[in-house]
Amino acid sequence: MERLIPEKLPRHIAIILDGNGRWAKKRNLSRIEGHRKGADSVRKIVRACREIGIPVLTLYVFSEENWKRPQEEVWALMELLKDYLRSELKEMLENDIKLMASGNLHHLPQDVYHLLMETMEATRHNSRMILNLALSYGGRTEILDAIRKIMWDYKEGLIRPEDITAERFSSYLYTADLPDPDLLIRTSGEFRISNFLLWQIAYTELYITDTLWPDFAKEDLIMALVEYQNRERRFGLTGEQIEASPCVQEK
């Protein structure tokens, strides 16, 4: 941690936690065992982000496309999610962590949905860190949902075409109140976005590691942060412009 510069920490880290299945396969275990081990990594990485002082952490835990996986796997993932919410509530309250969720939440089984809402409600006044779970999440659906909401507001006379700036559009997304991610980590070596935060990652720094998610530990997170802090974010400007005014930010 001494290697990190506190003023240059990302405000928002997003993680595509991938590789649970391959982790299990390598050990001749079932995919579900991989997800169970992956849930432990979630616990560890949330704690690490809280200790390091990351204000917002978004974890891609279940995509819209993941509903098409074998039914037993989807069921096991939903059970693990419930276990996680039940077991972590105390820690979230003690550590001042606010839980949020992004995605098509109405698609979730009722018991999962209710437990999620209860946990969000119980933690809603917490302010040290936001843990945002991307659940039943699809980036294209999020954008289409935003367009639908804008059209409804237009019909009600609440918005005019000239009001639609990038900021206003962002306010219609699931992530409305969150800053865009500064750093996106993907584990297990896959070089793709898989329909994650398509709008929000316009200027996000990408970090891909071969480490499988169940093996991803605090030390790996610190390595990603060290690399992030060594990058020069230019937001379309020249290197010289950034050196002259290092505080320049996208927004």
Residues that are catalytic:
18, 66
Q: Looking at beta carbons only, is 58 or 170 nearer to ligand IPE? A: 58
> Residue 52 binds which one of ligand IPE, Mg ion, none, with CB within 5 to 8 A depending on kind?
none
| Span from 14-22, 121-129, 174-182, 228-236 in contact with ligand IPE (CB under 6 A) | 14-22
Structure tokens that stand for 249 in this block: 């930010």
Q: Looking at beta carbons only, is 23 or 172 nearer to ligand IPE? A: 23
User: At closest approach, how far in Å is the CB of 167 from ligand IPE?
Assistant: 28
The pair phi, psi for residue 217, each rounded to 5°, is: -120, 175
Among 9, 13, 14, 16, binds ligand IPE (CB under 6 A): 16
Angle at 49 between CA 45 and CA 54, to 5 degrees: 150
> Residue 228 binds which one of Mg ion, ligand IPE, none, with CB within 5 to 8 A depending on kind?
none
Q: Looking at beta carbons only, is 213 or 228 nearer to ligand IPE? A: 213
Structure tokens that stand for 230 in this block: 């060594």
Regarding 18 and contact with Mg ion (CB under 5 A), the answer is: yes
| Span from 16-24, 53-61, 213-221, 227-235 in contact with Mg ion (CB under 5 A) | 16-24
Regarding 182 and contact with Mg ion (CB under 5 A), the answer is: no
| Span from 56-64, 79-87, 113-121, 233-241 in contact with ligand IPE (CB under 6 A) | 56-64
**Spatial separation of the C-alpha atoms in residues 218 and 57, rounded to whole Å:** 14
Binding residues among 18-47 for ligand IPE as defined by CB under 6 A: 18-22
**Sheet architecture: strand order including 205-208:** 97-102, 129-137, 56-63, 12-16, 183-186, 205-208
**Spatial separation of the C-alpha atoms in residues 232 and 208, rounded to whole Å:** 17
CB of 88 within 8 A of CB of 120? no
Q: Which distant-in-sequence residues (6+ apart) come within 8 Å of 9 by Cβ?
A: 52, 53, 54, 225, 229
Q: Are strands 12-16 and 183-186 parallel, antiparallel or unpaired?
A: parallel
**Spatial separation of the C-alpha atoms in residues 5 and 219, rounded to whole Å:** 16
Residues in contact with Mg ion by CB under 5 A are 18
Residues in contact with ligand IPE by CB under 6 A are 16-22, 60-63, 66, 77, 188, 190, 192, 194, 213
